[in-house]
Amino acid sequence: MESSQALPDALGRHLSVAAAREHGVSAGQLPKIGTDPEIFGVFYAEHLEELQRFVARRVDDPERAADLTADVFLAAITSAHRYRSRATPKTWLYGIAMVVVAEDRRRGARKRAREERLRGGIQLDQDDTARIEERIDAEARSRRIYMAMDRLGEDERAVLELVAIDELTVAEAAAALGLRPVTARVRLHRARRKMRAELEGARDPDDFK
């Protein structure tokens, strides 16, 4: 016989999934993405397109972009139980994506072994590959800006990327990077000043206003 607690628990989970589907995965639900496949499925569908664009602004190879997108979601799954951030789920995910893309950038384009058991549930299909190619083409200008940041320090570059390329507010960028807003503003000001000097006479001098 089913326990008296099982029915309330099942109903609570059903309502939680329904709320996530209607309103998106909330900060309170986010730790469950690593243990509840349905909550993760909602989170994945909710953020996939934005995350693909995020990666496409930085990577010009569809296969590598697809791998990095999968890596970000894998990192989110494995770290979700530690979520205690004041960041929204979106900015929290962007913070993870910044780390994953930066690590890949340092490693270069070397292929990495993956556990099929983990990747299988979130691997992109063939239609996704075509969409990623379109997004890579659409984000060519942003990648040009991204590459122009090479002379910035990592701290300043990270804030400028999120604000100038990904169009986050300073407060959102600060939350994604685990910074105080005032610290993010200072780094952004320094980065913009350096980039204006670097891009003096460039075609799009207003990119970093």
Q: Looking at domain 22-138, does it have CATH number 1.10.357?
A: no
Position 203 pLDDT exceeds 60: no
- pLDDT category of residue 150 using cuts at 50, 70 and 90: confident
Taking the complete model, does pTM exceed 0.75, yes or no? no
Mean pLDDT across the stretch 173-202?
86
Residue 167 burial by Cβ neighbours in a 10 Å radius (0-12, 13-18, 19+) = exposed
Which pLDDT score, from 0 to 100, does residue 6 have?
54
Residue 206 burial by Cβ neighbours in a 10 Å radius (0-12, 13-18, 19+) = exposed
Which pLDDT score, from 0 to 100, does residue 73 have?
96
Mean pLDDT across the stretch 132-160?
76
- pLDDT category of residue 115 using cuts at 50, 70 and 90: very low
Mean pLDDT across the stretch 188-205?
74
Residue limits of CATH 1.10.10.10 in the chain? 141-209
CB atoms within 10 A of CB 185: 17
Percent of the chain with pLDDT over 90: 33
Q: Looking at domain 141-209, does it have CATH number 3.40.50.2300?
A: no
Selection from 33-37, 118-122, 142-146 with the highest mean pLDDT = 33-37
- pLDDT category of residue 202 using cuts at 50, 70 and 90: low
Which pLDDT score, from 0 to 100, does residue 114 have?
47
- pLDDT category of residue 3 using cuts at 50, 70 and 90: low
- pLDDT category of residue 111 using cuts at 50, 70 and 90: low
CA-wise closest residue to 26 among 75, 88, 119? 88
Residue limits of CATH 1.10.1740 in the chain? 22-138
